[in-house]
Structure 1
């Protein structure tokens, strides 16, 4: 996945903060999905319209993580969210 890619959140996906975590609900399927605090930060940034490059920069600055490690974690999170229909990913060509 390219760091130049973009992420969109389908209209049927609702997000609510519960403490330090975010709970996602797909209104079409009734599926719930929970995000830990770092995943919640990523979600907040994506929901605010930040690019993947911006998300990476912010999270790497805010948390004690290397760009390589975060890149792998971000890709895994995005693939999981995409597989569940909670986001759509458009990669740069």
Structure 2
């Protein structure tokens, strides 16, 4: 496993671990679910929706890794960079930089 001195070094590696289009789509759907569940947690003032958001985000992402990418999620080795990578990739998909 390579070591990274910065997120800028990590992100190209992260994208390489998400080369399968279905995996990227699952990550994107999971991230949309996370945002919706965060809003629901705030509106309902119920912390259980935060747990649901966590399960939703990681659930969709891990299905993408285990069944489509056939790799181990970067979350296990680089949790902070991986979390940031999820949201940067989400933004890049929204902006059209990365194909959906």
TM tier, smaller:
0.3 to 0.5
| Greater helix content | 2
Structure with larger RCO (C-alpha < 8 A, sep 6+) = 1
Where is the strand percentage greater, Structure 1 or Structure 2?
1
> Rg: which structure is higher?
2
Tell me the TM-score normalised to structure 1 length: 0.35
